[in-house]
A and B are shown apart, each in its own frame.
Chain A
Amino acid sequence: MKSKLLVMILAGTMAFTTLTGCGSGTQTAGESSAGAEVQTNKAEAGTEEVSASGEAIRIVNGKIEIDEPLKAFAKAYQEKTGQEVVIESLGGGVDINGTLKGYLAAGNMPDIFVFGGEGDYQTWKEYMTDLSGEEWASQTDFGFKSEDGKVVGFPYAVEGYGITYNKNVLEAAGIDPASLVTYDAYKNAFETIDSKKEELGLTAVCSVAAESGQMYWSTGNHLFGYYLSAGLERGDDKYIDMLKEGSIDNDRLGQFADFIGMLFDYSDQSTLVSGTYDDQLALWAQGKTAFITQGNWIDPSLPDYNVEFDCGIAPLAFSKEEISGVLADCPSWWSVYNNGKNTDACKAFLNELATSEEGQKCLVIDCGMISPYETCTVTPTTPLAVSLKTYVDAGNTYSWGWTKMPEGIAMNSTGAVFELYAKDEIDKDTFVAMMGTAIADYVK
């Protein structure tokens, strides 16, 4: 009898502890699984007297490189308004969509989350809040709009790319960067520089990487983006719509292929077929090539290579006709989760980030990005951002139409065709034909 009693007591205690464990678990699940980072923020907040406007808002940011400035801004914001903001940055190879899907399934969805364009929008559209009425929404063209014209994505940066050049080399070779707006101008420039390679200290004219396993995003997305959007008004989705139906404009793609072929011919061959992003960047940043097919995101890496030359971005002008602008757009947007408890606090925070001077400073100076807002008065300081800003200010940019391509097409399909072209295994006509079949197969 005594042992029975003991068993009962033990079982009872066990049940009790389990139940209490569960009880507190359900209440704090939101915070506890967000990771250690959040915990420390909470601890800090505890000493500072919060609770002015309720619970903390949590942001999942997809650009790990701006984690620190954002956190600093969030802290300043908390001191100013009493609203606690927790920044959780994902990046460095983390599958952001997968992580967010996990958060959603676990009932741990952040109040503001990042999404990367059309494909992600389709996945997440039911969870987004309409932000059209916000102050910042009228100050930018870069907000992500839903099918019915509502602004659902908060833009926080503009990125742009084209053919980035080493200005010193171009000057020494007697080429005016501003003239690089047609195929012929590039042909002329490549030939001139190639003939003076030795005196300019170059090993090749261009630094391009087209290996399909790791550089598909550069070729299949970025370079191909010029075929899709160059020369078109923002909102003109002519070539995207064709692509979604599985067809291509043979003539335009032919011109594009001519240019890409020339670009590949004047590139460092080893980097072209087997180089990684780092190899490609190192080659250019060490002054061994005049051009690189990357954009203003390489700004933060320039000090690593002690870059002293001046540089800028020129359009990838593949056509005989003039293409004077570069492709510039938001790489990703922030969206406010519509089932969050704090949508008003989120909106207030986004407004502050977009319109206040501290917010602009955080985005432009500390994060080294270009503000998508017309009202932004802070000017960037890094060379490529400065160069890109001249295009943005002049309204001389084209959209990143490639973000509307079917998801994964560059990685699983078109990137491979670029690689074959780079390795000279196919000629221009085959390239055009294979791109056609690759796209048609992918969208069917």
Chain B
Amino acid sequence: MEQNVRRVISILFVLFGVFSVIYALYLDIFDKDAGGRGILLIGGIFIIILGTYLLPSKKHTTIINVLFLLPLLAAFAITVIIPFICGIFYSFTNWNGIKFTEFVGLANYIEMFSSPDYLYSLLITFIFTILNMLSVNLAAFALALLCTSKVRGRNFYRAAFFLPNLIGGIVLGYVWQFIFNKVFTSFIAGSLSMLTDPNLALAAILIVSTWQYAGYIMMIYVTGLQGVPKDIIEASGVDGASGFKSLIKIKVPMIANTFTVCIFLTLVNSFKQFDLNFAITNGAPSRILGMKAIASTEFLALNIYNTAIAKNQYAQGQTKAVVFFIILAIVSLTQVSIGKKKEVEL
């Protein structure tokens, strides 16, 4: 008897809470100027929680578990899921950052793939990503070998190589811009800055990006290399393996999972490169393609930014961002699944 009363009460609570939440949302979405809709919303949510808590059921423990997860789920939904869904939604409209007046269907997507500057941007981003991934990982692995060898002052090196990573990208970008424009040109007197040639400007961004990021990746490699058991290395030495051979045949396979992590990090980071790109070249110099002048170093992230902010085409920018996400997800998932297969279990 008491069970049934409690059940009815708790269901009433839930219903009342749901109603109050819906009413609060209705007030907000249709812009009714009524005070207290915030209280209504939060109050409604609490009453729903209270109702489910009081509900007599065999699954009481599960309900409690879910309730305790709610703050986390809510935070995740508010900061990630909902904006993401909104973003996809806006990419089908003519949103201008304030409001939208009509649905345009796939028009944004069609326009995007038919604009040469975007396609060029896509291409140059892929080229940069591949080159940067190679250069960062090679440099980082070499530095890691140096820092785990018996060289004097290796702890100092470790800290020194890591340092550039602590400087913000924009500051770093402007400092390096000065170096390319002023310092290098005065070393090689009369020469023009690297940043005035499309190919050299890409190389310039590569240099700075490697310089900034290699130290960080090096730290991960160092950790990996230190995890390789000493006895195996010693055993290989006894068997007559040279240092180089034990590196290729033992250390590298042993730290394959470190490679997966590092390649994943550099891949994603290079693809998302924005701050250095923005500060060093901001898309310049221009390159002639056909009869068109195209910004030769405008990577995707910068292209999205310029579309939304400079051209004030928020919906178009949002569309590019959605595609950006899809490409990034495909590339990194493929890479991780390939990398995983090569890993050795200890």
Is B294 a contact of A416 with CB atoms below 8 Å?
yes
User: CA–CA, A133 to B155, complex, Å?
Assistant: 73
Nearest chain A CB to B331 CB, angstrom units:
26
Contact residues, A415-444 vs B (CB, 8 A): 415-417, 419-420, 423, 425-426, 433-434, 437-438, 441
- Residues from chain A with Cβ under 8 Å of B286 in the complex: 212, 415-417, 419-420
- Quick one: given A26-B38, A123-B312, A419-B286, are A270 and B292 in contact (CB under 8 Å)? no
User: CA–CA, A274 to B171, complex, Å?
Assistant: 18
Contact with A438, one of B38, B39, B185, B292 (Cβ below 8 angstroms)? B292
Chain A, interface size: which category? 35 or more
Contact residues, B277-294 vs A (CB, 8 A): 281-286, 288, 291-294
User: CA–CA, A95 to B282, complex, Å?
Assistant: 16
Q: Which of B125-133, B189-197, B212-220 contacts A (4 or more CB under 8 A)?
A: B189-197
* B238 proximal to A (CB < 8 A): no
Q: Smallest CB-CB separation from A431: which chain B residue? A: B293
User: CA–CA, A204 to B100, complex, Å?
Assistant: 52
Contact with B295, one of A214, A279, A412, A434 (Cβ below 8 angstroms)? A412
- Quick one: given A212-B284, A417-B286, are A434 and B312 in contact (CB under 8 Å)? no
- Residues from chain B with Cβ under 8 Å of A423 in the complex: 196, 285
Is A123 a contact of B310 with CB atoms below 8 Å?
no
Q: Pick from B43, B50, B98, B195 the residue with the most CB of A within 10 Å.
A: B98
* A407 proximal to B (CB < 8 A): yes
- Residues from chain A with Cβ under 8 Å of B283 in the complex: 212-213
User: CA–CA, A417 to B293, complex, Å?
Assistant: 6
User: CA–CA, A413 to B291, complex, Å?
Assistant: 12
Nearest chain B CB to A24 CB, angstrom units:
10
- Residues from chain A with Cβ under 8 Å of B193 in the complex: 270, 273-274
User: CA–CA, A416 to B288, complex, Å?
Assistant: 9
Is B312 a contact of A214 with CB atoms below 8 Å?
no
* A268 proximal to B (CB < 8 A): no
User: CA–CA, A411 to B291, complex, Å?
Assistant: 18
Is A101 a contact of B98 with CB atoms below 8 Å?
yes
* B324 proximal to A (CB < 8 A): no
* A104 proximal to B (CB < 8 A): yes
Contact residues, A181-230 vs B (CB, 8 A): 211-214
* B107 proximal to A (CB < 8 A): no
Is A119 a contact of B312 with CB atoms below 8 Å?
yes
- Residues from chain B with Cβ under 8 Å of A407 in the complex: 310-312
Per-residue interface assignment for chain B, residues 169 to 190, with 1 indicating a CB less than 8 Å from any chain A CB and 0 otherwise: 0000000010001000100000
- Residues from chain A with Cβ under 8 Å of B288 in the complex: 420, 425-426, 434
- Residues from chain A with Cβ under 8 Å of B294 in the complex: 416
Is B196 a contact of A213 with CB atoms below 8 Å?
no
- Quick one: given A101-B98, A212-B285, are A18 and B291 in contact (CB under 8 Å)? no
- Residues from chain B with Cβ under 8 Å of A105 in the complex: 98
- Residues from chain B with Cβ under 8 Å of A106 in the complex: none
Q: Pick from A408, A417, A437 the residue with the most CB of B within 10 Å.
A: A408
Interface of B is mostly: mixed
Contact with B98, one of A123, A426, A433, A437 (Cβ below 8 angstroms)? A123
Nearest chain B CB to A54 CB, angstrom units:
19
Is B291 a contact of A213 with CB atoms below 8 Å?
no
User: CA–CA, A282 to B247, complex, Å?
Assistant: 54
Is B310 a contact of A411 with CB atoms below 8 Å?
yes
Nearest chain B CB to A76 CB, angstrom units:
35
Nearest chain A CB to B130 CB, angstrom units:
23
- Residues from chain A with Cβ under 8 Å of B96 in the complex: 123
Nearest chain B CB to A90 CB, angstrom units:
14
Is A211 a contact of B196 with CB atoms below 8 Å?
yes
User: CA–CA, A18 to B46, complex, Å?
Assistant: 10
Tally of contact residues, B, Cβ under 8 A: 35
* B35 proximal to A (CB < 8 A): yes
Is A97 a contact of B312 with CB atoms below 8 Å?
yes
Is A416 a contact of B42 with CB atoms below 8 Å?
no
Q: Smallest CB-CB separation from B186: which chain A residue? A: A270
* B309 proximal to A (CB < 8 A): yes
* A25 proximal to B (CB < 8 A): yes
Contact with B195, one of A11, A19, A274, A438 (Cβ below 8 angstroms)? A274
Is A213 a contact of B293 with CB atoms below 8 Å?
no
Is A270 a contact of B310 with CB atoms below 8 Å?
no
* A395 proximal to B (CB < 8 A): no
User: CA–CA, A270 to B295, complex, Å?
Assistant: 20
Per-residue interface assignment for chain A, residues 247 to 278, with 1 indicating a CB less than 8 Å from any chain B CB and 0 otherwise: 00000000000000000000001100111100
Is A15 a contact of B306 with CB atoms below 8 Å?
no
* A98 proximal to B (CB < 8 A): yes
Is A18 a contact of B42 with CB atoms below 8 Å?
yes
Is B39 a contact of A416 with CB atoms below 8 Å?
no
User: CA–CA, A23 to B293, complex, Å?
Assistant: 55
- Quick one: given A273-B192, A274-B195, are A23 and B38 in contact (CB under 8 Å)? yes
Contact with A23, one of B39, B196, B282 (Cβ below 8 angstroms)? B39
* A242 proximal to B (CB < 8 A): no
User: CA–CA, A23 to B312, complex, Å?
Assistant: 35
Is A441 a contact of B292 with CB atoms below 8 Å?
yes
* A72 proximal to B (CB < 8 A): no
Q: Smallest CB-CB separation from B35: which chain A residue? A: A26
Is A211 a contact of B309 with CB atoms below 8 Å?
no
Is A212 a contact of B35 with CB atoms below 8 Å?
no
Is B311 a contact of A419 with CB atoms below 8 Å?
no
- Residues from chain B with Cβ under 8 Å of A212 in the complex: 283-286, 295
User: CA–CA, A119 to B312, complex, Å?
Assistant: 8
Is B282 a contact of A213 with CB atoms below 8 Å?
yes
* B117 proximal to A (CB < 8 A): yes
Q: Smallest CB-CB separation from A18: which chain B residue? A: B42
Nearest chain A CB to B31 CB, angstrom units:
11
Contact residues, B28-50 vs A (CB, 8 A): 35, 38-39, 42-43, 46, 50
- Quick one: given A26-B35, A273-B196, A274-B195, are A15 and B312 in contact (CB under 8 Å)? no
- Residues from chain B with Cβ under 8 Å of A437 in the complex: 291-292
Contact residues, A91-126 vs B (CB, 8 A): 95, 97-98, 101, 104-105, 119, 123
User: CA–CA, A431 to B139, complex, Å?
Assistant: 43
Per-residue interface assignment for chain B, residues 292 to 307, with 1 indicating a CB less than 8 Å from any chain A CB and 0 otherwise: 1111000000000010
Nearest chain B CB to A118 CB, angstrom units:
11
Known contacts A408-B310, A426-B288; can you find 20 more A-B pairs with CB under 8 A?
A: A15-B46, A23-B38, A26-B35, A26-B38, A98-B97, A104-B98, A105-B98, A123-B97, A211-B284, A212-B285, A213-B281, A213-B284, A214-B284, A408-B306, A412-B311, A415-B286, A417-B293, A419-B284, A419-B293, A438-B293
Closest 3 CB pairs of A and B: A213-B284, A416-B286, A213-B282
Residues of A that sit less than 8 Å from B by CB: 11, 15, 18-19, 22-23, 25-26, 95, 97-98, 101, 104-105, 119, 123, 211-214, 269-270, 273-276, 279, 406-408, 411-413, 415-417, 419-420, 423, 425-426, 433-434, 437-438, 441
List 26 A–B pairs whose Cβ atoms lie within 8 Å, in order of A's numbering. A11-B46, A15-B43, A15-B46, A23-B38, A25-B38, A97-B309, A98-B309, A104-B98, A105-B98, A211-B195, A211-B196, A211-B284, A212-B284, A270-B192, A273-B285, A276-B181, A411-B306, A413-B293, A416-B286, A417-B293, A419-B285, A425-B288, A426-B288, A434-B292, A434-B293, A437-B292
